[in-house]
Amino acid sequence: MSPETGIEEVYDGVAEIKKKILAKWAGPGDKARAASDAGKLKLVSEHEIVPHKGIGFTLDKGQVLRYELTDGPQVIDTTYLVRNRPVEEFADCWHTGIFGALTLHEGMHFISCSPYGRPLLTIIKDTVDYDNMEKMFGKGAAHSFIFPSGRCTETMWELGYGIVNAYSCNSGIMQGIIEVAGEDVARALRWPPGVFMHFQCLNYDKIPTNKTYFNGHGALEVGDYVELLAHEDLYVALSPCPVGDQADYSKYENLTCWPLKYAIYEGADGPLETAPDPELKSMNVVDFVMAGRPGMVTGAVGTKV
C-alpha cells in the first residue's frame, strides 16, 4: 500500500530487472556529463543542418554528439548504425523503450538490436526546460522520443496532402545513410531501422494511448541542445523533419523549417570512458531456428485452474 496514494502497489518485475541492467552502464554517462558541465570537452567539428536535406557522418567511440537549435524550433529524426556491421546492428527502438521509455531523458541509453543488446549512446545532457513544457502541454510532455521506427514518410504525405515524393524523414535518413555508409548498406536496410527524435514537443496523452504533437514555439529556445555520449563507432544519419516547428499543418507548403547544427566533442583531458559491451551469447535468430534451436531454455507451462 502506498502511503501517499492509499493505493495498493503492484510489483513491477520488469522495472527491477531494468534497474539492475542500467546500473551497469550509468557510470560513463555520469562522468561525461560532469566533463561537459565543467567545460572539459573540446570541439572536434561543427556543422550546419539545413532544411530538406538528409545528412550522414561518422561518430567515434567516446565522442560526444551535440544537437543544438540555432534559428528556431526544428524537429530532427536520427538513426545510428554500428560501423563494423551497419546492417546487422543499430540503435533499436524496442530495446531502448523496454529498458528506458518512449520519452527519452538524461541518463537513458539507446540500446542496439537483438542479439547484441549493447548501449550505443547515452543522453548525458538536455537543456530544454521540462517544467515549462509540462506547464504548456501537460504532465509527461517531452521532446526526445521514439515511436517504434516512426518517422514521416513519402506515403504519409501523399495520403495526407496528395503530394507525390514530398521531402520526408524517411528519404532524408536514407539520403544520410547513402552519404556515410554507401548505397549497398542503404539497399540492404531498405528503410531506417530505428528512429530517435529530438525537439518534437509531444505527450502520449491520447486514449487509446497515442501521441499528440505540439507547436515548439515557447517551449524550445534558440541555444537549447541535447548531448549524447557514443559507446561504439557509429554511422549517424539525420533528417531535419519537414514538420519543422509544427506551427501550421494546414497544408504541406506551410510547414516551416529552421536550420540548426550538430557538433562533435572529445574529452579535453583524455578519452572519455564508455559503457562495457555485455557480450551476449544469444545467436542470430534465423541461425538459431535453422540449427534446431540448440539448448533453448523455456519457462514453465501453466496448468488449467
Residue at 141: amino acid letter: A
Which of the four pLDDT bands, split at 50, 70 and 90, describes residue 123?
very high
Q: What is the pTM of this model?
A: 0.92
pLDDT band at residue 147 using 50, 70 and 90 as cut-offs: confident
Amino acid at 264: I
Q: Judge whether residue 1 has pLDDT over 50.
A: no
pLDDT digits (tens, 9 = 90+) for 226-280: 999 999 999 999 999 999 999 998 888 899 999 999 999 999 999 999 999 999 9
pLDDT in tens, 73-111: 999 999 999 999 999 999 999 999 988 889 999 999 999
Long-range contacts of 111-114 (CB under 8 A, 24+ apart): 112/82, 113/89, 113/193, 113/194, 114/282, 114/285
pLDDT band of 14, cuts 50, 70, 90 = confident
Check whether 4 has a pLDDT greater than 60: no
Span 136-157, mean pLDDT?
A: 91
- The predicted-structure confidence for 207-226, as pLDDT tens digits, reads as follows 898 889 999 999 999 999 99
* Whole-number percent of the chain with pLDDT over 90: 81
What average pLDDT does the chain have?
93
Between 15 and 206, whose confidence is greater?
206
